[in-house]
Chains A and B, each alone.
Chain A
């Protein structure tokens, strides 16, 4: 997808003394998920199936 959602509320200022390795701090992980079925219909699904079957990532797919 090439359109980006635009958010007008600003990001907060970096707190004094904040530090992270290479400016990044991993804190948690995704908490939960459910198994569901996606419908095998439409152009975006076909792209998904192609990636899944060739074990490709989004960025490999972009090239």
Chain B
């Protein structure tokens, strides 16, 4: 898991109380798995399930979460925010942009620290980012312990896919110092996918999933091959220019301009006014995810002047278009990076707080074909809240492994177990279409499946039954583009003023995924199949890529079995 030997807190397997924690730059969430195996996010003492990752000190008292966030207006100097990504980094490599309006990160003894007045009296202290994270973890663990009625000992934490070993080690240390044994670090998009796959109504399927995690200060996207419930990340992309705060910024500028128009004062030029503007813009943005209209209202926004306004969703979507386009480009880009086409994507999971935005979900429905399921609150009523996915997945993983010895967990997550061969071509069987003798490829095991793997299908036979051929082949898919000339309008009304649609003479493109039959692997004969009978074909690919094929009539005896040597 990490180079660093985890310091245990003495919790023994079987006696652990384990939770899932997602710790973001903007928000954190804690979750547990109920005795009914359902993952649930825990509300803290303020009733929040999304707990701002912020600490603030007032007269020596520590505030966390939403209460600390409010301190960004009056007490920004003693408030530490947006620090997760500083863990395990050199001062030179961090981007301090988001800490401008709170305690500033500084270089200190080769690490990063903040100078804050965290005690009632005396000089301000210089507190390392590691210690800040530890304090934050302590608060999260306490909230969870209070809810569960017993002390939390252990946790599974989620990390971005581009976290370095140093960052992971620093994260583990901060949690350990808060008395939390880290059972495992799991990748954020994988955690989100697990949260969906663990629902009782989900079926294990072979599918390609895009997880778009749109957060506050960063957007991370991953393409994941999900094969029989096992996950392989095919490509990832990260972006820091288009995220939640950039949507806030659009609204800040919008309302600032309106305020200037009425009052001739720019609220962005005064730190306190700007902090108020920011907080309320974020609240307005969230309200626009639910309603088609939202208020913006701040008491004494600048120079004692109150300000109230409204905005509708359409206007917001128009002025925020650049940011939305940025999300689209990021997501389309990572599909290409994985060498795939939008037609290859079975599922898009929208994760992260910004994914509540209806426009983002509708953009996904426009980019991806109708065969792609977009899992977001506005497109799928049964969707899980995007803000809860990571913590829920971590809680599920925690419940799966909490009774294992730390050593066993380490062994199972070792590259010797996790690095395996993956098929580059699908393996399938040829069948025929109703009217021609041409073979049609049906995949049995998909490409990007990790081996060993085993799959079974049931396939029809000709109406009369009889002797049939099972031809096992490799197949590759590609995208076939057919250009169709625009159809002339049915009634041919030439003088209609239809400038907008039909008169631009661009040929329409029809894109479809087609299979190309490759290498033939084996043939088998199944004889005397009864009328209406079906044939079961099982393919088992071993770790060395040797193949065992079994085929028999469903319900019949015996059958055919053969082996193919490893390449």
Contact = CB atoms under 8 A, between A and B. Distances in A.
Most B-side CB within 10 Å, residue of A3, A31, A57: A31
Nearest to A55: B543
A63 interface: no
Interface in B260-279: none
A30 B549 contact: no
Interface of B: 184, 186-187, 190-191, 194, 197-198, 203-204, 228-234, 393, 396-397, 400-401, 411-413, 415, 417-425, 427, 429-434, 437, 439-440, 442, 444, 448, 450-452, 454-463, 466-471, 474, 518-527, 535-536, 540-542, 545-547, 549, 560-567
Given A6-B459, A53-B412, 16 more contacts: A8-B460, A11-B468, A12-B439, A14-B469, A28-B521, A29-B567, A33-B422, A33-B451, A35-B422, A36-B232, A38-B232, A40-B413, A41-B393, A42-B231, A44-B204, A49-B412
A4 B229 contact: no
The 6 A-B residue pairs with the shortest CB-CB distance, nearest first, are: A44-B229, A24-B562, A14-B467, A9-B431, A49-B412, A40-B413
Contact of A12 (B451, B471, B520, B545): B471
Q: How large is the interface on A (under 10, 10 to 19, 20 to 34, 35 or more residues)?
A: 35 or more
A38 B536 contact: no
B431 A18 contact: no
14 contacts: A1-B204, A10-B431, A10-B461, A11-B462, A14-B527, A18-B523, A26-B565, A27-B522, A29-B564, A32-B425, A38-B231, A41-B194, A42-B396, A46-B400
Contacts of A46: 400-401, 412
Contacts of B462: 10-11, 13
B424 A24 contact: no
A7 B469 contact: no
Contacts of A53: 411-412, 417
A13 B523 contact: no
Given A26-B522, A52-B417, A40 B424 contact: no
Contact of A31 (B229, B456, B466, B474): B474
B545 A27 contact: no
Given A35-B419, A58-B454, A23 B431 contact: no
A42 B197 CA distance: 9
Contacts of B466: 13-14
A1 B545 contact: no
Contacts of B228: 1, 44
A46 to B, nearest CB: 6
Given A10-B459, A40-B184, A29 B419 contact: no
B561 to A, nearest CB: 7
A34 B420 CA distance: 8
B452 A57 contact: yes
B190 A39 contact: yes
A1 to B, nearest CB: 6
B420 to A, nearest CB: 6
A39 to B, nearest CB: 4
A29 B542 CA distance: 12
A35 B442 contact: no
Nearest to B194: A42
B456 to A, nearest CB: 5
A33 B424 contact: yes
B458 A30 contact: no
B359 to A, nearest CB: 31
B204 A10 contact: no
B72 to A, nearest CB: 35
Contacts of A40: 184, 186, 412-413, 417-418
A46 B474 CA distance: 29
Contacts of B444: 5
Contacts of B393: 41
A51 B430 CA distance: 31
B469 A5 contact: no
A15 B466 CA distance: 12
Contact of B231 (A28, A41, A52): A41
